[in-house]
Amino acid sequence: MVSNSNIDLATATEINTLFCEVVIAPEYDDEAIELLKSKKNRRLLVLKQSSFKNQMVRTCLNGILVQDRDHLTDKAEDFKVVTKKSPTQEEIEDLVFASKICKHTKSNTIVLAKNRQLLASGTGQTSRVDALKQSIDKAKHFKFDLSGAVMASDAFFPFPDCVEIADLAGITAVVQPGGSIKDQLSVDYCDANNLSMVMTGTRHFKH
């Protein structure tokens, strides 16, 4: 389990209800450390502050791939509502959450979330439809209820197929970058089926 903030006793108590062999956090309360150490062979690590280079390099067949690091994180203020129906405040919070996860997931990706909890993601697919179907299958496998969930995509929708599949699965709000010459097709489907959609104007494309 990894946390970006302090682990207090209440958090440690929740962690202890799970099977967790490694905990990583920037700091721990003394009471939390004692409780977490009660599990045999559990390792507690301190997350140190570090800086990253502005470019990421990875090997690929017959060469390397160099990609600029994505420093942009979508916020609610970046959302442009493009449908007749606006997302609720709860959906906006979920859309922001899902978009953050989407940014750090291999493209093409689809992220499904509800109540600021990741339900499933479809990752690294050549087709955004395949990424969506993969995420829906994962959610169903773990018996997550997609009714009222939101969908985030790192790619625009040139056809309404993704929003239609999402709608049939119970999803009610969508965030995507926009930018396709056929954006309106997806917007029209949402308008006809009572979904809300926001666009960010920015594509997070992680290889």
What the chain holds in terms of domains, given with CATH numbers, is 9-46 (no CATH), 76-199 (3.40.140.20)
pTM score of the predicted model: 0.77
What rounded mean pLDDT belongs to the chain?
93
Higher pLDDT residue, 70 or 108?
A: 108
**Angstrom distance (rounded) from CA 145 to CA 167:** 13
Over residues 187-196, the mean pLDDT reads 98
Q: Residue 91: its pLDDT value, please?
A: 98
Q: Residue 64: its pLDDT value, please?
A: 86
How do residues 122-174 score in pLDDT, each as one tens digit? 998 989 999 999 999 999 999 999 999 999 999 899 999 999 999 999 999 99
How do residues 9-56 score in pLDDT, each as one tens digit? 999 999 999 999 999 999 999 999 999 999 888 999 999 887 777 887
Banded pLDDT at 62 (limits 50, 70, 90):
confident
Please give the distance of CA 110 from its chain centroid, rounded to a whole number. 8
HEC string of 10-62 equals HHHHHHCCCCCCEEEECCECHHHHHHHCCCCCCEEEECCCCCCCCEEEEEECC
End-to-end CA distance of the chain: 25
Q: Residue 73: its pLDDT value, please?
A: 83
Over residues 97-107, the mean pLDDT reads 92
Write the DSSP symbol of residue 143: T
Q: Residue 119: its pLDDT value, please?
A: 97
Banded pLDDT at 68 (limits 50, 70, 90):
confident
Q: Which amino acid is at 176?
A: Q
Residue 19 has phi, psi (to 5 degrees) of -80, 110
Banded pLDDT at 60 (limits 50, 70, 90):
confident
Q: Residue 52: its pLDDT value, please?
A: 73
Over residues 45-68, the mean pLDDT reads 82
pLDDT higher than 90, residue 90: yes
Over residues 70-88, the mean pLDDT reads 92
Q: Residue 3: its pLDDT value, please?
A: 93
Q: How many CB atoms are closer than 10 A to CB 132?
A: 28
Three-state DSSP state, 34: helix
Banded pLDDT at 204 (limits 50, 70, 90):
confident
